[in-house]
Amino acid sequence: MMMSRTLKKSVIALFMLAGTSYVFASQVSEHCEAEQEYQSAHDTILCETYSEGLVAVEQKGKYGFMNIYGDIVIPIEYNEVGSFSEGLASVERNNKSGFIDTQGKVVIPFEYDRPSRFSDGLTRVRKDGRYIFIDRTGAEVLDVDKYYNLNPFSYSEVFLNGLALVEIESKQGLINKQGELVVSVEYDLINLPFSENLVVVKKNDKYGFLNQQGQEVVPPKYDNAVSFLEGLARVGYEGRYGFINQQGIIVIPIIFEEAYSFSGGIAKVKKDNIWKAINKQGEYV
């Protein structure tokens, strides 16, 4: 997974806080700005794994973790490692994965395949050919094998705000941590994540919005829609654009040839081939 420039800068900033290791931090800064890995004197520092004050290092095909001072705090002895999330990181030994805490203590035994990062207190793993969710103690809390596909929200994190996306025969829905369907599997697209407690959905080539309880606040009836920002969402119908509020009421008429979402109380719109700015009352400013 490539690390964003923002995350790289966070890594650098935290390394720079370690005043006694300024030279080391400067080296990390120089190299992690430019690339995904940094080869120090003896170890390869995997910049993209930085999280919770620790970064993975590789030496002769084995992996461990280093702190912001450049000290190896988790021995370089694992075949693979993931980044820390919610205080735990996946590590692999003898072709099986488990989880360690930030002190290097094994808290979930080595008996899983294909681990994801912890999110909302759960992680998805594979065991005996089944995909399951386990909690921070390693207890199985949910068997998702009955679903054809369980999609991540971003990278390998699966649950977010207590919900996960499920897909059956190309239709999508949402389940909670108990495996109960909160949103029935009937949508062509659920465009996660939620924004301002609502999410864009697509059904029969039309777009609408659901709340986190699975209720259709805005039934799918628009040709397109984007997420809510500052209380309003841009929607399109028959080649024109306008804005609705969170109750689904059209508050700015669908009359514009193009339109951008609101930012700072202002939105750019195009009418009669001329770009202008409007406020939330639809007035030109």
Two tokens, residue 175: 């389940």
Structural domains in the chain? 1-81 (no CATH), 113-187 (2.40.10.480), 189-285 (2.40.128.630)
Give every CB contact of residue 223 below 8 A, 6+ residues apart in sequence: 206, 207, 236, 237, 238, 239
| Mean pLDDT of all residues in 268-272 | 97
**Pairing state between β 189-195 and 198-203:** antiparallel
> Most distant CA pair in the chain: distance in Å?
66
Per-position b or e across 233-257, b if 16+ CB within 10 A of its CB = bbbbbeebbbbbebebeeebebebe
pLDDT tens-digit profile of 81-108?
Answer: 999 999 999 999 999 999 999 999 999 9
Using a cut of 0.75, tell me whether the model's pTM lies above it.
Answer: no
- How many Å apart are CA 74 and CA 57, to the nearest integer? 10
pLDDT in tens, 2-51: 334 434 444 444 444 444 454 455 555 455 554 555 555 556 888 888 88
Instruction: Select the more confidently predicted residue: 165 or 226.
Output: 226
* Nearest to 181, CA basis, from 214, 220, 152, 149: 214
- Residue-wise pLDDT for 140-186, tens only, equals 988 776 665 666 554 445 788 888 888 888 899 998 888 888 899 99
Number of CB atoms found within 10 A of residue 132's CB:
18
Cα distance between residue 59 and residue 34, in whole Å: 21
pLDDT number for residue 44? 86
223 near 231, Cβ under 8 Å? Answer: no
Residue at 119: amino acid letter:
S
Average pLDDT over residues 46-69: 90
Task: Assess whether pLDDT exceeds 70 at residue 283.
Answer: yes
Q: How many residues does the chain have?
A: 285
Sheet holding 189-195, edge to edge: 189-195, 198-203, 206-211, 216-222
Q: Which residue has tokens 């099986």?
A: 96
Average predicted confidence (pLDDT) for the chain: 85
